[in-house]
Each structure stands twice: as C-alpha cells, then as structure tokens.
Amino acid sequence: MDQEYDAIVLGTGLKECILSGLLSIEGKKVLHIDRNPYYGGECASLNLEQLYEKFRPGTQPPKELGRTRDYCIDLCPKFLMACGNLVKVLLHTSVTKYLEFKSVTGSFVVQSGKVHKVPSTPAEALSSGLLGMFQKRRFRTFLQFASNYDEKDPKTHEGLNLEKMTAKQLFEYYKLEDSTQQFTGHAIALQPDEKYMSRPAKEVVELIKLYAYSVSRYGNSPYIYPVYGLGGLPEGFSRLCAIHGGTYMLNKPVAELVYGEDGKICGVKDTEGVVAKTKQVICDPSYVLGTPKVKQVGKIIRAICVLSHPIPNTNDTESNQIIIPYQQIPGRKSDIYILCVSYAHKVCVANKWIAVISTNQESNAAPGSDAEKAEIAPALNLLGKIDELFFEVVNEYAPADDGKASQVFVSSSYDATSHFESATDEVIDLYRRVTGKELDLTIPAEIPDQ
C-alpha cells in the first residue's frame, strides 16, 4: 500500500467497481480498498445465514427455507434495462463474459389498487385494462408516434417540435388522461417525480423508445438480471481492474483521507499509519461520513420478503417489477417499488420467491414502530402470505460538491428505485468529472442470448 497511485477507490459497491475497472483499462494505476471482507458494499448479495446475522443476530434460519448456500439475496436489488447504458458499460468493458443474465418475466404498475401489465406496444395498448375504450386508441396513437420518432428525420415529427414542447404539452396534445400520464411517466419512462413534465418532450419520448426497444429484445419485460444475483457485477468489474494491473485490498480499514495545503487529496491513511499517495479518490459516502464532503438527503425504507408463491395477479411470473405511482396513494410524494426474483435466477431454493419493497421514507415515525411499516403497507398488501420479512430504514446520502476542487469524488447512496437507470447516469457523470471526458457508449446494447 505504501506506493503512489493515479487513483484510490474506497468501497466495492457497483459504482466504485465500474469506475475502477474503467480507469484501469485506460492504464491508470488503481488501488481499490474495502473495509469489508466481501465485495459489493451497500449492494452486496448475502446467503441465508448472512441475512439472518444482519437482521436477526444470533438467530438461525428455519430449516424449511432450505440450504443457506442456495440463497443469494441482494440488499439493494435492482434490474438492468436490457438496452440501457449499464448494459453498454458491461459490453464496453467485456465484463459480460464473467456473468450470465436472464430476462425478467414481467413489468407491472398499480392503478386503483389493481396490478396491471405495463403496455409497451401499440398492440398491448388496445388490450390493456389500464385504459378505457377511447384512451386505448389515443395511447396507441401516442406509442406509434413515440416508436417512430427519429430526431434526424423530420417526417417522423408529425409537425411537433419536441425540443420546444414540454412532456406535459405532448401528453395533452394526444389527449392522454392523468392516469395514463402517470403510468407512462413512472412505469415506462421510469421518472420518480413530475419534474420531467416541464422539460422538453424529446426526453420522455427517448425514454419510452428505450423501454419499448428493451422489451422487444426479450419479449416479456425491458429488464434483465444476473443469475446468482447482483453480487457478480462488482466482482466482474473488480476482476477487470485486477487483470489490468489494479491492486485490491479487502478487509482493510481506512483511518482518514490526507489533504495537502492546497486542499487537494494527496493520500489515504490506513489504521496502521501507512499512507498511500494519490491524486484522486473515488469513494462511497460511508468513507466520508461526518465531513463536509457528504450530506444526508433522506431515508429509504427496504423490506426483504421471502414468499412461497409468485406475487398474486402477476400471471405467475418468475420475476417482475411492480411500480406503485405515488399518485395512487393519497398523501404520498414518492413511488413505491417492488422487485421480485426467484429460483429461476438461482437466488433462492425452488418454489421460493424473494420480493423486495423500497421507497423513500416520508414520515418521522420512530425507528422500529408500526408507523414505519405503514408507509409500505400498499405494497405489502399485494404480496399475499409472507414467510419471512426483514425490514430496515437506511440513511440516504449525496455528495456535497462535485469533487473537482479537492479531487475527492463521492458517489450517492443507492436510491429507492428498483432499476439501475439513475445509478448508471451517476456513474457516467462521475466518470466525466474524474477524467474530464465523456464515456464512449456507442456500442450497441446487445448481450448475446445465453
């Protein structure tokens, strides 16, 4: 460790591992440290015994749940958009050769208390229970316009200027009702709030095209998920970094970051007083807690549920995402997400399903109180009988600055969404700030069928 490095990365969460892999490919000398004895950080995958030790110390898993090593349960599970930017990063770095992916078999949204499949094609719009008779035809026309839209071909614009028109104005142009706008924005464009409504309509159209294109790739939903869980993703990028000369140190506590008189980072000191010199540090928020580098921006509720059946009303799918737009729950200001995987992805034993609920905490409920769980009651009610439930509320952190002045670049905590779209956007932004250049994502997002 007593050497000089181009960059030192602290924490082996997915964001940090992607960046260390990208930097090492470019010939940077990288040191990657984690205080934990395992990869993954906040998004680690745990077996059954590890899960019980985390949430119920001293308690052994019930024998009826099966062998502990047959479980790989993500603490912060998220799906990958099949043709999204994270898949492009995986292909750009060839990390896909270390992993096997399987498509997710359903994408759903809740409206008026009922679970509906998200329509992503004009044909599905005509048969969807989400829409009334007149809305079906209007939404079908809207989807046809969105799928045909090509920024470079004016013939596909139908006289509309999507740079000047807002998303709200586009929806109104096609006479889409509020309920249709809700599931389009939240379950197809995957927007967490209504800010996108006042931005150029081209943004939401491109997101709808991405969703539809990703569905067409695999046929059931736009999402894919690694076999054996997300733990393989940071490990794959770690292997990439090591192949290109990166140095890894697990189970290595960090005492402090060392700054020069100019306020810029110059090293990282371990608990034995040894300083590794560097010009840049990339870290997750846990390494700078209590410093001006990070701020708390909220709290996230997560509930890991073990089921012996698929989620009701999801067509008995092996895996799925369900989004409850916040407008469907009186008084809420943020969506609730349900991500469900099963033995099909080899994350649990046969005939078991793992459903994870996540959302932003909006109340000031006392820790451990029933009021905390009440916030996710609409999601819990959709799951049916729950065998085991592991509940937690975690702090959500964000960097306090862009890191350019000190050259310490802090990632954000993983948000409540059940997909990687926002996390991937942050990785791309971090790469831009760290290197001063854009990440080349011109590669087609096509993982070979496996």
Whole-model pTM over 0.85 = yes
Domain extent for 165 = 118-218
pLDDT averaged over the chain? 93
Q: Looking at residues 419-447, what average pLDDT do you find?
A: 87
Mean pLDDT of 369-392: 94
**CB environment 104-129: b (16+ within 10 A), e (fewer):** bbbbbbbbeeebbbbbbebebbeebe
Tell me the mean pLDDT in the region 206-235: 90
Classify residue 249: in a domain, yes or no: yes
CA 331/CA 318 separation, integer angstroms? 32
Residue 151 lies inside a defined structural domain of this protein: yes
- Cα separation, 6 vs 296, in Å, equals 29
Contacts (Cβ under 8 Å, ≥6 apart) of 435 = 23, 26
User: How far, rounded to the nearest angstrom, does the alpha carbon of residue 183 sit from its chain's CA centroid?
Assistant: 19
Confidence of residue 445 (pLDDT cuts 50, 70, 90): low
pLDDT at 416: 95
Which residue carries 């992607």 as its tokens?
18
Which of 184, 218, 252 represents a domain boundary (last residue)?
A: 218
Would the pLDDT of 219 be above 90?
A: no
CA distance 300 to 357: 10
Strand partners, 405: none
What tens digit of pLDDT does each residue of 24-75 get? 999 999 999 999 888 888 888 899 999 999 999 999 999 999 999 999 999 9
Q: How far apart are CA 182 and CA 199, in angstroms?
A: 16
Could you give the number of structural domains in the chain?
2
Q: Are residues 263 and 284 in the same domain?
A: yes
The CATH number given to whatever domain includes residue 232 is 3.50.50.60
pLDDT in tens, 69-127: 999 999 988 999 999 999 988 888 888 888 899 999 999 999 999 999 998 788 888 88
Question: How far is residue 42's CA from residue 259's CA, in Å, rounded to a whole number?
Answer: 26
Assign 447 a pLDDT band (cuts: 50, 70, 90): low
pLDDT of residue 449: 54
Task: Inform me whether the pLDDT recorded for 221 exceeds 60.
Answer: yes
**Would you say 275 and 56 are in contact if contact means Cβ atoms under 8 Å apart?**
no
pLDDT in tens, 114-150: 999 998 788 888 888 999 989 999 999 999 999 999 9
383 domain-assigned: no
Please check the confidence at residue 292 and state whether its pLDDT lies above 70. yes
Last residue of a domain, one of 218, 240, 256: 218
402-417 average pLDDT score: 96
Half-sphere exposure of 215 (CA within 13 A, CB side): 21
pLDDT tens-digit readout, 302-353: 999 999 999 999 998 999 999 999 999 999 999 999 999 999 999 999 999 9
Residues 125 and 245 placed together within one structural domain of the fold = no
